[in-house]
Structure 1
C-alpha cells in the first residue's frame, strides 16, 4: 500500500475516512475556502467529478482557513456553501491546516512528494494535487489553474 493510501481524514460530517477507500481511483485533492476569489472553482471541480466519476475520478475537498481567513465557518456553514451554493457532491472533509506544524498528514505527504515553487508550502486556497490510481502523486496545480485547464491531464490519466 502506498503512503497516500495509509492516511486518513475526517469527513465534514465527522466520519473517519481512509484514503485506501480511494485505491484504484484517480484522486484530485484540493484545499478549499468558501470566501476566496477562487471559490467559483467549486463549479468546475463538480463538473469534472460528475463527468469522470464513472471512469474513476474522485475529487476530495479540504477546507482551510490559513489564507486570508477565507474559511471562517463551522462544518454547517462550509456544507451550506459547498452543497447549496455550488452543488458539490464530491466528498468534503473537516477544516484543516495545510502549512505549519499542524498541517494535516495528507497535505504534509503531498507537499513532500510535490513541493512546488515555495519549497513545500501551499501558496493559497485551491492548490490541487492529482494522485494516480496507484496512490502515487502525479502533479501539483497552482490555485489559478482552473479545473477546466486540468481536464486533458485527467483524461490522459483515465485513459479516455
Structure 2
C-alpha cells in the first residue's frame, strides 16, 4: 500500500524525530491499518533528503521471515530514492529492538549497498514513543557488520586476463 504524499507533504527529513512525526500521524489516521499487528514501511528520500514515498511493505506479526529484499527495495529503485528509512511498529508499545530487528536491518543495509541506496535509519514506533537505530548508535555498528556481505568466489570469474602493457 502506497501512502499518497502531496507536494506540500514532501518535506525535508533531518532525523528520526521527523520520520516519527510523519509515521505517527499515518499510524493513527489510517482506518485500513490493523493497529494490533506489526507493519513494516519503507520511507524513500531523494538526494536532498526530501520525502519521496512511504510504502507499506508487509503486515503481520512475524514479518522478519516474510520480508523479501527485492520486494522491500522495489519502490525505492522505481522512484529513484538515494536513501531510505526502515520503519515498523510494535503494537504493545515496547520499542527496544529485538535481535531479529537488528539482524533484518543488517541484511537490508547490505542489500541497499548493492543497489546504491543508503539505509539511513530504522525506526521502531509506538503511538507515544519511538526508537531510532541512528540516534542510539546502532546504525554505525551495523554498517561495520560483514554478516550479510556476499562472498566473492574468484573461481567464478571467467573473464580472460588482460594485459594492459603494449609492446612498443
TM-score under structure 1 normalisation? Answer: 0.34
Alignment TM-score, normalising by the size of structure 2 = 0.33
In terms of Rg, which structure is larger?
A: 2
